[in-house]
Amino acid sequence: MSLRAQTASAVKWTMVASTVVAGSEILRNIVLARFLFPVDFGLMAMVTIVIGLAQMYCDMGMSAAVIYRQDATDDQLSSLYWLNIFSGWTVFAVVWLSTPLITKFYNEPRLPLLLKAVAVVFLITPVCSQFENLLQKELAFDFLAKRDICTSACQTVVAVTFAALGFGVWSLVYGYLINAALRAGLLVHVGFTRYRPRFHFKTSDLKGYLSFGLFQLGERTAFYLSQRSDQVMIGSLLGAQALGYYSFAFNLAAQPLSRINPILTKVAFPAFSRVQDDVVRLRRGYMKLVGILSPGADFEFSDVAAQHQQSDWKRAVRQGPCGPRFLVAYHDPDLQRAGDLPGLPDGTGNQRRPVAINLPGLPRCTTLPFDGPAAAGQMCHGLCAGDFEADCRGLGDGTGGAHIR
C-alpha cells in the first residue's frame, strides 16, 4: 500500500475515533452532571492538571523520536523501553512525595488520596507507550481507533455507574483508571506479539534520542502550561467549586476543536517522518496541512450547554466560569495555531523551532473584578487591545454571552 493510501486510511480511522470519543465524552459529562456536584469536577480537574504535566516526563520526550527515527535498532528500542519503565516509576515516586506541596498549593485537603490513586497510571502507561508509538509509526491507526472507542465507552459506563451509586468524585477516578488500564492491556497484547522488547539496556543506545527528547519535552511543557495555566490559577485562588464550573463549561466548548486538530496532526507526523529526506514533498505536505488547520475557531459559551444541566450548573455559563470574578487568559492567535501543530517541524528533526514558538505563547493572565457586563467589557477591551482582539459581551448578565475570539 502506498504512503498516500496508508495516510488516507489513517485519517479516516482517526476521524471516526475522534468523533465517537468526543461524543462519548460530551454525553458522559452531561450525564455525570446529573449525579455529581461542581466541586467533584473541580477536584478531578486539579488532579488531571498535575497528572497531565507529570505524564509528559514519563518518556522524557523520546516517544516522538521513536516515530521520527527510521533506522532504530532492536537494541535501541529495548533500551528506550526500559528507560520508559524507569522514568514512570520515578515520576510515580515524585508525585507521591510532592502530594503535600500540591495539597498546600491548592489548599484542598481532599487531594492527597485522589492524587495518589490516579498516580498509578505512571506504573501502567510506560509498559505500553512504546508500542503505541511503533503502531503510529507504521500508520496502524485502525487498531488505535478501535482501542480508543472501546476504552472511552468503558470509561463512560464505569464513571456513570459509580456516580449513580453515590461515589462522587471517585467515580471520575475509577473511570480514568479503567480507561488507562484497558488501553495498556490492549496495547501490551498487540505489542508483545509484534515488538517484544529484550532484557537489554545500554546508555550508548540512547545517543541521539536524549537530545531530541529534551527539546520535545520543552515544547510539550511550554504548550501544556499555556493551555492549563488558567485552570491552575482558578483552582489555587478560587477553589475546587469555581474550577468545577470553569472546567466543565470549557470542556464542553473546547471538546470539538480539541478533537479536530489531532485527526490530521497525529497522522501527519509519522507520515512526514517517512519522507523527511524529500524536502520538496515534505514542504508541500506541511503547507497543505497548515492551510487546513489555520482557520481559527471561536469558543462560545451559551445557554444551550446549561439547558441540559441542574440549576447549580447554570452558573457555569450564566455567571461566567469564576462567579463574581472572571479570569481572562488570552493568546496570540498565530502562536496558538502554531502550538496546535506539535511535532510537525519534527519531520525534519528540528526540535529547537517548536520550543521557540511555544515559549512566547504562554498566556498572560489577569483576574478582573467587575460590577457588571459593561465594566467587564471595558476592562477586556483595554486588556486585549493591540495585537489581540476580544469581544466580551454579557459577562455575568444572565445571557451566557461570554464570547472570546
pLDDT in tens, 136-150: 988 889 999 999 999
pLDDT in tens, 172-222: 999 999 999 999 999 999 988 888 888 888 888 888 788 788 888 888 888
Contacts 24+ apart (CB under 8 A), 51-56: 51/95, 51/115, 51/118, 51/119, 51/121, 52/224, 52/228, 53/221, 53/224, 53/225, 53/228, 54/91, 54/94, 54/95, 54/119, 54/122, 55/91, 55/121, 55/122, 55/125, 56/217, 56/220, 56/221, 56/224
**Does the pTM exceed 0.95?**
no
**Mean per-residue pLDDT, 309-315:** 50
Q: Which of 375, 323, 304, 392 is nearest to 26 (CA)?
A: 304
| Phi (first) and psi of residue 13, to 5 degrees | -65, -40
**Averaged pLDDT score across all residues of the chain:** 75
**Mean per-residue pLDDT, 218-245:** 88
Tell which wins on pLDDT, 71 or 27: 27
pLDDT of 353 reads: 52
pLDDT of 297 reads: 41
Q: Using alpha carbons only, how large is the chain's radius of gyration in Å?
A: 22
pLDDT in tens, 349-391: 555 555 554 555 454 443 333 333 333 333 333 333 333 333 3
pLDDT in tens, 323-334: 333 333 333 333
Q: Could you tell me the pLDDT band of residue 400, with boundaries at 50, 70 and 90?
A: very low
> DSSP 3-state assignment of 260?
helix
**Mean per-residue pLDDT, 159-177:** 96
**Mean per-residue pLDDT, 109-119:** 94
Tell which wins on pLDDT, 365 or 38: 38
DSSP state for residue 297 in the 8-state scheme: -
Sign of CA dihedral 380, 381, 387, 389: positive
Decide if pLDDT at 310 tops 70.
Answer: no
Domain boundaries, the chain: 3-369
Sign of CA dihedral 236, 239, 240, 241: negative
> DSSP 3-state assignment of 300?
strand
**Mean per-residue pLDDT, 300-312:** 45
Decide if pLDDT at 269 tops 60.
Answer: yes
**Furthest CA-CA distance within the chain:** 66
Highest mean pLDDT: which range of 65-69, 329-333, 341-345, 390-394: 65-69
- Contact present, 351 and 215 (Cβ < 8 Å): yes
pLDDT of 67 reads: 85
Tell which wins on pLDDT, 271 or 161: 161
DSSP state for residue 394 in the 8-state scheme: S
Highest mean pLDDT: which range of 80-84, 303-307, 345-349: 80-84
Query: How far is the C-alpha of 329 from the C-alpha of 327, rounded, in Å?
Result: 7
Q: Which of 181, 317, 314, 343 is nearest to 250 (CA)?
A: 317
